[in-house]
């Protein structure tokens, strides 16, 4: 009986395989090159292995089948594209704004938020949130970002010893402080351990996301919830949601104590702020995003659950991607002393011209630093892939893609394409001189995606990165320890530097290695001017790989 059932099941799968591959859609898809496809399982083997191996395999596939290739994940075809003409065709097409089913893995955490919603809901959410990052609102954030940058510098100078062992958590802490202070109107100074739990939970949820992505059977929430990692995710979600619920509750309390006057008007009347300062006991800035969401909820445009979902999204996107990008930027400046010195000279001159005040005028004068940041985002795009679903048949350069097909936008691939970027692995900020930008395909550089579903917070991210890098460069010299080319990269929701060794590594005699051997990562900070603390090495970015159970699997493709 069991054999009959098993054979029947296999027969059904083979029939499905024939229908999928030899139907109209399958025949069009299979015209595109790609890795070897087996019956039923397709090309799913390319997703096996560690997150580091997966990153290398993505690059290998992108280069081998340039500029387009397909893989079959069981019966689901996925097409990866990287030529800017194809990218423009998809990203600018209003019929191709739907995200792929992989984004559904975010729903237990982020719900039907802006990054996963579609249709009328997406348009409504986009309209509300876009206004919260208006230029005039960003100008109000500069003072807060300056204050957080000063707190970061102070923390470095007061750090115990001479070494920052783990740069990413350190920077993440300050980018999280910044997004909470600006977009949420909340200070995290009293949260302590809760903040650290939130940061760790963010990184762990990213690891679990990749774990599920590589295992199609884990895409079903009811199956995943029965596994140990599913139960772990449930605990992590309590931490993440509890953190944002607390922030929202605090801001709502603030509006109750101020009789909701900020929800009635978002003008620049400073007298109202002074009255609030007397009422609350401390001055609180009129902020953008969370206040807009609360106001929208009072008008019946959003529910409390939708507010939390959007706050979860902005909290993650507003600090984690920025922190990872900052790590790469600092590493590149540490490796290129001539470029670092030029940035420092620009920052110092701008400081003198603005009486040492970090204002919007000051930031607008940092043109070379801005080019450095853009070049760093090209070399190391922390959001390295995005995906879309074709809402209609789409004609690319060489192939017709049928409606309903998942398309992966290979951001890392186009940013490293030698046809558009000569010597693509070289760090050259002058690629972003105005005359060079004019002569380049507009879709050859898309670190914040492009088209209707581009990143609404990109101006905020650039503002924050310029502020933090300028502050660090003004106070410290960056010195390389290891070079990025020697450091392993791994992926979760964003691209991260991989730790070279564990903190508890010991030699064959059980003794810990020398300090110089332990502190191996991207760069060191040493005080400039009269500031003499010496941060000799920066170490170990990232956490343990969620896919450690895959580490011993053979590389089935490379």
Annotated binding site for heme: 455
Q: In this structure, what token pair is assigned to residue 43?
A: 């090309």
Label each residue of 99-144 as H, E or C: CCHHHHHHHHHHCCCCCCCCHHHHHHHHHHHHHHHCHHHHHHHHHH
The CA-CA-CA angle for residues 167, 182, 205, to 5°, reads 50
Q: In what order do the strands lie in the sheet with 476-480?
A: 476-480, 523-527, 534-535
Q: What are phi and psi of 362, to 5 degrees?
A: -60, -50
Q: In this structure, what token pair is assigned to residue 219?
A: 């895409």
Beta-strand relationship, 76-81 and 523-527 = unpaired
| Residue 409: DSSP 8-state | E
Name the one residue in this structure whose structure tokens are 């401390």: 282
Q: Report the C-alpha gap between 320 and 201 in whole angstroms.
A: 12
Q: Report the C-alpha gap between 113 and 328 in whole angstroms.
A: 28
Q: In this structure, what token pair is assigned to residue 128?
A: 């509300």
Burial of residue 197 (CB within 10 Å: 0-12, 13-18, 19+) is middle
Give the rounded distance of the alpha carbon of 399 from its chain centre.
Answer: 31
- Please state the residue numbers annotated as binding site: 455
| Residue 555: DSSP 8-state | -
Cis geometry, peptide bond prior to residue 69 (ω within 30 degrees of 0): no
Q: Report the C-alpha gap between 244 and 248 in whole angstroms.
A: 6
| Residue 500: DSSP 8-state | S
Burial of residue 30 (CB within 10 Å: 0-12, 13-18, 19+) is middle
Residues 6+ apart with CB under 8 A from 28: 399, 400, 401, 402
Whole-angstrom CA distances from 357 to 151, 166, 179, 234, 556 are: 15, 30, 21, 45, 56
Whole-angstrom CA distances from 160 to 185, 330, 354, 536 are: 30, 21, 33, 13
Alpha-carbon torsion 484, 489, 495, 497, what sign? negative
Largest interatomic CA distance in the chain: 85
What ranges in 131-227 are assigned the alpha helix state H?
135-157, 167-179, 193-213, 221-224
């Amino acid at each position: 009986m069991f054999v009959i059932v098993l054979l029947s099941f296999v027969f059904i799968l083979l029939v499905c395989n024939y229908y999928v591959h030899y139907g109209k859609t399958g025949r069009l898809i299979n015209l595109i090159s790609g890795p070897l496809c087996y019956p039923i399982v397709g090309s799913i083997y390319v997703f096996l292995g560690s997150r580091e191996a997966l990153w290398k395999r993505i690059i290998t596939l992108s280069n081998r089948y340039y500029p387009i290739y397909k893989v079959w994940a069981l019966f689901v075809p996925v097409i990866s594209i990287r030529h800017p003409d194809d990218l423009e065709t998809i990203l600018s097409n209003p019929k191709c704004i739907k995200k792929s089913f992989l984004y559904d893995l975010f729903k237990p955490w982020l719900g039907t938020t802006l990054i996963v919603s579609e249709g009328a809901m997406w348009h409504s959410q986009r309209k509300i949130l876009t206004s919260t990052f208006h230029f005039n609102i960003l100008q109000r954030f500069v003072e807060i970002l300056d204050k957080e940058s000063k707190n970061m510098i102070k923390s470095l100078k007061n750090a115990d010893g001479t070494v920052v062992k783990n740069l990413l958590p350190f920077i993440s802490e300050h980018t999280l402080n910044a997004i909470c202070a600006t977009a949420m109107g909340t200070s995290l100074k009293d949260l302590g351990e809760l903040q650290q739990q939130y940061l760790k939970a963010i990184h762990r949820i990213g690891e679990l996301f990749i774990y599920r992505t590589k295992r199609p059977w884990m895409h079903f929430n009811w199956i995943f919830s029965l596994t140990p990692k599913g139960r772990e995710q449930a605990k992590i979600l309590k931490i993440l949601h509890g953190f944002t619920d607390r922030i929202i509750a605090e801001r709502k309390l603030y509006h109750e104590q101020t009789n909701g006057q900020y929800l009635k008007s978002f003008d620049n009347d400073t007298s109202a702020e002074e009255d609030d300062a007397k009422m609350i006991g401390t001055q609180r800035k009129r902020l953008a995003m969370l206040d807009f969401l609360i106001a929208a909820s009072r008008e019946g445009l959003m529910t409390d659950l939708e507010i939390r979902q959007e706050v979860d999204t902005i909290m993650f996107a507003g600090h984690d991607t920025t922190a990872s990008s900052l790590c790469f930027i600092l590493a590149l400046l540490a490796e290129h002393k001539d470029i670092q010195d030029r940035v420092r000279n620009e920052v110092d001159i701008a400081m003198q011209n603005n009486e040492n005040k970090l204002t919007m005028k000051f930031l607008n004068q940092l043109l070379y630093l801005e080019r450095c940041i853009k070049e760093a985002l090209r070399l190391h795009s922390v959001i390295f892939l995005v995906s879309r679903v074709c809402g209609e048949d789409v004609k690319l350069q060489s192939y017709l893609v049928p409606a309903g097909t998942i398309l992966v936008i290979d951001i890392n691939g186009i940013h490293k394409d030698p046809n558009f970027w000569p010597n693509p692995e070289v760090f050259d900020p002058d690629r972003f001189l105005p005359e060079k930008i004019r002569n380049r395909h507009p879709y050859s550089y898309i670190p914040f995606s492009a088209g209707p579903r581009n990143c609404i917070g990109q101006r905020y991210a650039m503002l924050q990165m310029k502020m933090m890098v300028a502050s660090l460069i003004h106070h410290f010299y960056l010195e390389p320890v290891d070079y990025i080319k020697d450091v392993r990269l791994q992926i979760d929701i964003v691209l991260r530097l991989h730790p070279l060794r564990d903190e508890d590594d010991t030699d064959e005699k059980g003794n810990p290695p020398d300090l110089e051997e332990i502190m191996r990562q991207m760069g060191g900070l040493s005080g400039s001017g009269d500031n003499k603390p010496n941060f000799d090495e920066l170490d170990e970015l990232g956490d343990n790989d969620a896919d450690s159970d895959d580490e011993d699997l053979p590389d089935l493709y490379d």
